[in-house]
Amino acid sequence: MLRPGQNVPDIAFPSLSGGTWPLRAEGGANLRLVSFYRGAFCGYCTRFMQQLSGMRADFAELGIDLAGISVDPKDVAEKWARDNAIEGITVGYDLSREQIEACGIFASHFTRDGKELYFAEPALWLVRPSGELYLTIQSSVSCGRPDLESLMAGLRTLSEHGFPMRGDA
């Protein structure tokens, strides 16, 4: 598991808007928020991403770019984003087992209809433009999510101080 202050892997995800969305991106936003979610099959993930989408203007005020990524293939991710009004967030797809392992986030697997599903459990990262991990919140279960209203209140306070590093001791 990565700790705050460590560099995130140099990984970019394919996005529904075209091109790729890198974890590291020099310039632009103060921070990049990536929500690793289980996939379209997870109702908890959908509700969390809808809430995040609804707060996109709040995050933009702080200079935070938003993205969500899962193992879903492109067609599943497109239908999910469309059907659930996930807007204003870069939606990535095809998160691989190797990428999950490189990021050090929890993963699970099970078999459904004779097919093995391997997916990331929920994680939320804030990454500095340099690629340094600023914040990590990870869960080993689908319902373990941060309260986005509380997170936003804290980030507003931290932004007033230039987003000082915490948790790196």
Distance CA(127)–CA(133), nearest Å, equals 5
Q: State the residue range of the domain holding 40.
A: 12-159
Is residue 33 a part of any domain in this protein? yes
Q: What pLDDT score does 59 carry?
A: 96
Structure tokens at 30: 């103060």
Is residue 169 a part of any domain in this protein? no
Distance CA(105)–CA(83), nearest Å, equals 27
Is residue 126 a part of any domain in this protein? yes
Phi, psi of 21 (to 5 degrees): -120, 105
Residues 6 or more apart whose CB falls under 8 angstroms from that of 7 comprise 24, 130, 131, 132, 133
Which H or E run includes 91? strand 90-92
As a whole number of Å, the CA-based R_g of the chain is: 15
Is residue 28 a part of any domain in this protein? yes
For residue 91, give the CATH number of its domain. 3.40.30.10
Structure tokens at 50: 């809808």
82, 17 Cβ separation under 8 angstroms: no
How confident is the prediction along the chain (169 residues), in pLDDT tens digits per residue? 889 999 999 999 999 999 999 988 877 788 999 999 999 999 999 999 999 999 999 999 999 999 999 999 999 999 999 999 999 999 999 999 999 999 999 999 988 788 888 999 999 999 999 999 999 999 999 898 999 999 999 999 999 888 888 888 7
* DSSP symbol at 122: P
119, 103 Cβ separation under 8 angstroms: no
Dihedral angle, C-alpha 23, 72, 85, 20, nearest 10 °: 30
pTM for the whole thing? 0.92
Structure tokens at 57: 């203007």
Is residue 1 a part of any domain in this protein? no
